[in-house]
Structure 1
Amino acid sequence: MIRMTLIAALALATAAAPAAAQRGPVSEQAAPTAADWRTPDAEDVMVIDTNKGRIFVELAPRLAPTHVERIRTLTRRGFYDGRSFFRVIDVFMAQTGDPLDTGAGGSDLPDMSAEFTFRRGAADSFVPVADTGGSQTGFVGVVPVMTQSPMLMAMTADRKITAWALFCPGVAGMARGSEEDSANSQFFLMRQAYPSLEKRYTAFGRVVAGLEVVRAIKTGEPVAAPQDQMTKVRMLADIPAAERPALRVVDTAGPWFAAQVAQQRAEDGADFSACNLKIPSEVK
């Protein structure tokens, strides 16, 4: 089955899209303190070694538990080792995860049901950054999301509202065919924001370190030989302690990030977007 057929059509529209308004630099902010950082769960970090460098993806089981478990399973099988980035569009995304390196293959596991949206309750962790009419934008961990208005919680049977990921730079999504429930093994990493994918593709995490590597991957549809590759893919928890990198990420629920949101909103004005917010990370 050919994967990403809808994305191919959407990508063609990129050339016709108007250029984004230029913004000045965000005012300098004090460096995060020790209290502003958090250490991601090693079971939720995918470490992708490529011939261009290393990429860290923090998985988001709250958004897409089935897809996250599939990523863990295939990673631990070694399924992704040696796979090429066979389709890479400069202002869009980098696609990989196909054993055929063509877009037509998948694993021996069954296709998955779509997880385009999820339900959010009042007790669930959520960091709001903007209200946009009848919806609210914020973060679940490192993933930017949009939700229905919290006022609707009182009107629903489960006291929850619908939320969905925003496909900002670094967001990791599952490729699929024309059928919504056809995602299997292929995935893509966003190089730039692409709102047209919202509620049409499943997001399962976000790059927290190595976005510059994603943007350095050779482009093409398909990519001409030699293609850049994922040389080895592991879960952070499975890397031997002696060689395991130490990763920490600024907590989006902390005061440093709140100050950054305020600065970015003041800088951008009406053009403010969660996609413009940067989440610092450190790897040692």
Structure 2
Amino acid sequence: MRRTFLAALAATGLVLASGGLSTRVWAASPDNTLILETSKGKVTIELRPDLAPKHVAQIKTLVGKHFYDGIIFHRVIDGFMAQTGDPTGTGMGGSDLPDIPAEFSKTHFGRGTVGMARAQDPNSANSQFFIMFDDGSFLDGQYTVWGEVTDGMEVVDKINRGEPPANPDKIVKARLASDPN
């Protein structure tokens, strides 16, 4: 019975969260699927406008402007997260778009969760984001979750560590799955 159910889900193109049956099943929408071509390989992120519509809109705008293309992972802490999105590579920069007000939720920061980096001001998120390597429950309710890695966590795991890394990996190209280029 379970195999039949899983086969039916696979045939319809639905995605299951985190490698097993989950209470959350969603359709993989190309318009809400971010593909990061990194120096280590491809990472696919399902955007979560249901949790953070303003953050997702900002990410989509920046992707459309090719903002993330060529940007390094400037802060990569083993057992914690890989952070990117700063055009200066210092962790102090952002885009020319306005900062985004916090959209905190009760969503757990687990492995593969994508959250928005910010300064001490909760409303200071702009372009920097991070991907969790492991559990980060201490971030729950304090940072905005706007996505989840659905494919390519093995690629994220290979990103060079450091603050900053001696030989940083980068996002070669960021695009939405709905973008033919």
Q: Give the TM-score category using the shorter length.
A: 0.7 to 0.9
- 2:164 maps to 222
Q: Distance in 1 between matches of 2:125 and 2:40?
A: 26
1:145-187 CA distances to partner (integer Å, 9 max, x unpaired)?
A: xxxxxxxxxxxxxxxxxxx110010000000001110000000
Residues 113-262 of structure 1 mapped to structure 2, 5 A cutoff: 113-117=101-105, 164-224=106-166, 226-240=167-181
> 1:34 aligned to 2:22?
no
Backbone CA RMSD of aligned residues: 1.4
* Structure 1 gaps, min length 5: 1-28, 118-163, 241-284
Q: Distance in 2 between matches of 1:188 and 1:59?
A: 13
Equivalent of 2:61 in 73, 80, 94: 73
Paired amino acid for 1:230? I
- 1:35, distance to aligned residue in structure 2 (A): 2.7
Equivalent of 2:49 in 25, 37, 61: 61
Secondary structure of the corresponding residue to residue 46 of structure 2: strand
Equivalent of 2:88 in 95, 100, 103: 100
Q: Distance in 1 between matches of 2:49 and 2:168?
A: 30
Q: Distance in 2 between matches of 1:51 and 1:210?
A: 13
Q: Distance in 1 between matches of 2:180 and 2:30?
A: 9
Paired amino acid for 1:56? T
Q: Distance in 2 between matches of 1:97 and 1:186?
A: 4
Paired amino acid for 2:8? A
- 1:196, distance to aligned residue in structure 2 (A): 0.4
* Structure 2 gaps, min length 5: 15-26
- How many residues align? The count is 165
Q: Distance in 2 between matches of 1:239 and 1:86?
A: 29
Larger Rg: 1
